[in-house]
Amino acid sequence: MSLNKQSATLLINCPDKKGLVAAIANFLMTYNASIMHADQHQDGAENLFLMRVEWSLQGFTLPMSDFAAAFQPIAEEHHMEWKVSVSERKPRMAIFVSRYEHCLADLLHRWRIGELGCDIPLVIANHEECRRLVEFNGIPFHVIPVTRENKQEAEAEQFRLLDEAGVDLVVLARYMQVLSGDFVKRYPNRVINIHHSFLPAFDGAKPYHRAFARGVKLIGATSHYVTEQLDEGPIIEQEVTRISHRDEVEDLVQKGRDLEKVVLSRAVRWHLENRILSYSNKTVVFD
């Protein structure tokens, strides 16, 4: 998207059939839309049509406040699930973290230089270690300790802070706690996690230790949406690096950090740019 142009983006998921592209394009052209980007995907196995279209709001004659009412008849006719967003409104993103700061530091750096188009109203942690980094960036830092005994009360406080901040997206930057089903239901496809393995291999705890014990030659990192099933959510991005018999567990951890922060930041950026459609526990990421 051009930095000098305000735009709108429409994401669509519906049963596949002929004429969908024409129907969408004709609707937009009715209101003098100048389409900047359009991409689509057909999933033959699922008989699904998925599309992302972005257009300039300069000269667009339909007020965005009236868009939903105007588009709804087309959506109903074609049984569409859809979402529209405007570039003028920055999503509000909360970051959850425990003790490891490498993913957090990378996100904050990319946010500070304008690579991530969002506001970060708060960071929530269950330990104190990252306070200095967060407050250096001028962001409120909240510590909410989590134990087996207080998990429900801790999440209630997290919900309060998230609601007060009007948060749209939650990013788990190596937050070493399992979220409850209630948490996930509040933010469907709006909680992004980084797992330090190439899923589905080595899900759960201590993946680097298990990869070392197994003698693998590749390790990876996976960013995915969080669901109620641990490490089973729709995968957004993955990356791998080669290791050898000379590498110890500490070497795997060090090499993995570089993968984790890059993979997480990519997934977050794509979500913020409305490039991801999730269906059947997988994703389409549009260019």
Which residues are known catalytic residues? 231
Contact indicator for 150, 158 with CB cutoff of 8 Å:
no
Contact indicator for 134, 141 with CB cutoff of 8 Å:
yes
- Spatial distance between the Cα atoms of 125 and 131, rounded to a whole number of angstroms: 9
DSSP lists the bridge partners of residue 94 as: 122, 170
Q: How far apart are the first and last CA of the chain?
A: 12
Helix spans in the chain (H): 20-30, 67-77, 102-112, 131-136, 151-165, 181-186, 207-214, 249-272
Burial 210-235 (b: 16+ CB within 10 A, else e): bbbeeebeebbbbbbbbbeeebebbb
Contact indicator for 26, 53 with CB cutoff of 8 Å:
no
Q: Which residues are within 8 A (CB) of 237 and not within 5 positions of it... i.e. 6 or more apart? A: 222, 223, 263, 266, 267, 270, 285
